[in-house]
Amino acid sequence: MDRRTKARLDLQLRCRIGDDKLLSAPLEAFTENMSRGGMLMRWIEPFPLPGLGCSLTVDVPLPANPGSEPRLMRCAATVVRIVPRKTGQPSVGLRIDHVRFVEPKAPGGEYPLQSMPAANDRIV
């Protein structure tokens, strides 16, 4: 039984992931699908899988519209499920708790996650 209340979009977007303290070496991953309330992403080895309930900060670069600057969608998210795969990397389901749109810091769409502020100041 599918309990989703928001439509999912199959989007394969590159993203960077950090934890509450921001990882010293952020990991890059790809989304599999997204909705207003969550996202499913393909987890890349050798990074260890996060635990259920773990808080992550996910930055997703958005395509730039003509005449506007590139933006990042910064999500404060919580791990709600882990989907093992028989072949390939597992998928991690995230609930999006908070979203904010920010400008990338470095030119060319590359951005050092360590230098960016967290999505919010709230400690969970």
Q: Kindly report, residue by residue over 7-62, the tens digit of the pLDDT.
A: 778 877 888 887 545 445 567 788 888 888 899 988 876 678 888 999 988 988 88
CATH of 14-107, one of 2.30.110.10, 1.10.10.60, 3.40.50.11540, 3.90.1150.10: 2.30.110.10
pLDDT band at 88 (very low <50, low <70, confident <90, very high): confident
Which of 22, 50, 7 lies closest to 113, judged by CA? 22
Residues 6+ positions from 48 with CB-CB distance below 8 Å: none
Domain residue ranges in the chain = 14-107
pLDDT band at 108 (very low <50, low <70, confident <90, very high): very low
Q: Which SS3 state, helix, strand or coil, does residue 44 take?
A: coil
pTM, 2 dp: 0.70
What is the C-alpha separation between 98 and 78, in angstroms, rounded?
10
Position 77 pLDDT exceeds 90: yes
Counting Cα atoms < 13 Å in the Cβ hemisphere of 82 gives 13
